[in-house]
Amino acid sequence: MHSAVISVENLSFTYPGASQKALDSLSFKIAEGEFVGVTGPTGAGKSSLILCLNGIIPHFQQGTFHGAVLINGCDTFHTSCAELARQVGSVFQDPEAQIVAPAVEEEIAFGLENLAIPPKEIDERIGEALEWIGIANLRHRSTTELSGGQKQRVAIAAAIALKPKILLLDEPTSELDPIGTMEVFEVLKMLNREHGLTIVVVEQKVNILVEYVSRLLIMKEGGGACDATPRQVIAQPALLTSVGLKPPPVGELAYRLKLKGLYPGELPLTVGDAYLGLAESLSIKGRA
């Protein structure tokens, strides 16, 4: 285990006037290079958690804050958002709401200019960020004419250009069609594997999470209901159903078949896995 880059210690947060805690005695650590999916029913505290990790809570959102959040050892309570922004990049739900510039290139330059980075380096970083995300061809395009998936990838490129060690995303695909969703997760996988970024993504679509992440944090009523690998979660569908989430269909199918002795080996995380398992079970040779 690498050292923890995110450490959440007995964190509680209550919004002003709220009767219930949004976050309630939450504790966990995330090591460098992990790819963590956070899911749970609405009101479980997922977005509040993201706001605590990038320092917006407590710096810009009032409320009652207990416990501690450490990012690379820095206590967010005593570290400004601007300093945290050098370590933590954030991408939100609605790409429209976070894209401010008319052209892709300017959008990516925006954060860099705010950090007073010299123009030559800004130029290099824009090129590099677009290259990493695989959208170098969009550099001179207008942000208004991009598809939803493209806009969200521009938002990720803008976050990446600041060279954060950690990337936080709050429901980055909720407005996107299925292929746009996959495009975003492919980019996250690449950033995680090839560039070693630690990624924390809040997502309602359990199907896609189990396919991509290495660890799932399931939240309920402000606390952690479960912290497990995708395979552990698929093997115990009750972990999802007990908090009102739906297990991925191929996982559920294989789980039910396994109870009847009709599914061999590990439960599948993807349609491809399920094909191999079923082909074995049904003794189909050839393509399996």
Partner 1 sequence: MIKVANLHYKYQSGLEVLHGLSFRIGKGEFVALIGQNGAGKTTLLKQFNALLKPTAGSVGIAGLDTAKSSTGELSRKVGFLFQNPDHQIFMPTVAKEIGFGPKNLHLSKGEIEARVAEAAQAVGLTRYLGHNPLLLSKGQRQRVAFASVLSMQPEILVLDEPTTGQDYQEGIEIMEMVKKLNEQGHTIVFVTHDMELVATYARRVIVLSRGRVLLDDSCRNVFYHPEILKQTNLFPPQIARLAQAFAGEGLFKRPLTVDEMYEEILALASRPEGAKNVCCS
Count of beta carbons in the 10 Å neighbourhood of residue 10: 11
Angle at alpha carbon of residue 36, lines to 32 and 40, rounded to 5°: 150
Cβ contacts of residue 188 below 8 Å, gap of 6+?
A: 35, 156, 167, 169, 199, 201, 212
| CA–CA distance, 181 with 254 (Å, rounded to integer) | 24
- Residue type at 206 in one-letter notation: V
**Which residue number, 109 or 267, has a Cβ lying nearer to partner 1?**
267
207 binds partner 1 (CB under 8 A): yes
CB of 93 vs partner 1, minimal distance in Å? 9
**Which residue number, 115 or 238, has a Cβ lying nearer to partner 1?**
238
Q: Which two tokens stand for residue 148?
A: 């939803």
Compute the half-sphere exposure of residue 32: CA atoms within 13 Å on the CB side of its CA.
Answer: 9
CB of 155 vs partner 1, minimal distance in Å? 14
**Which residue number, 125 or 220, has a Cβ lying nearer to partner 1?**
220
What is the distance, to the nearest Å, from the Cα of residue 130 to the centroid of all Cα atoms in its chain?
19
| CA–CA distance, 102 with 93 (Å, rounded to integer) | 19
Q: Are 170 and 47 in contact (CB under 8 A)?
A: yes
User: Number of residues in contact with partner 1, rule: CB under 8 A?
Assistant: 45
User: Looking only at residues 38 through 57 of this chain, which bind partner 1 when binding is defined by CB under 8 A?
Assistant: 40-43
CB of 168 vs partner 1, minimal distance in Å? 19
User: Looking only at residues 175 through 194 of this chain, which bind partner 1 when binding is defined by CB under 8 A?
Assistant: 175-181
Q: Return the range that interacts with partner 1 (CB under 8 A); candidates 4-12, 114-122, 134-142, 172-180.
A: 172-180
Supply the angle between the helices 178-195 and 148-160 in degrees, to the nearest 10.
20
Q: Return the range that interacts with partner 1 (CB under 8 A); candidates 24-32, 128-136, 226-234, 255-263.
A: 255-263
**Which residue number, 48 or 181, has a Cβ lying nearer to partner 1?**
181
Write out the residues near partner 1 by the rule CB under 8 A.
Answer: 40-43, 147-149, 174-181, 204, 207, 244-246, 248-250, 252-253, 256-257, 260-265, 271-272, 274-275, 278-284, 287
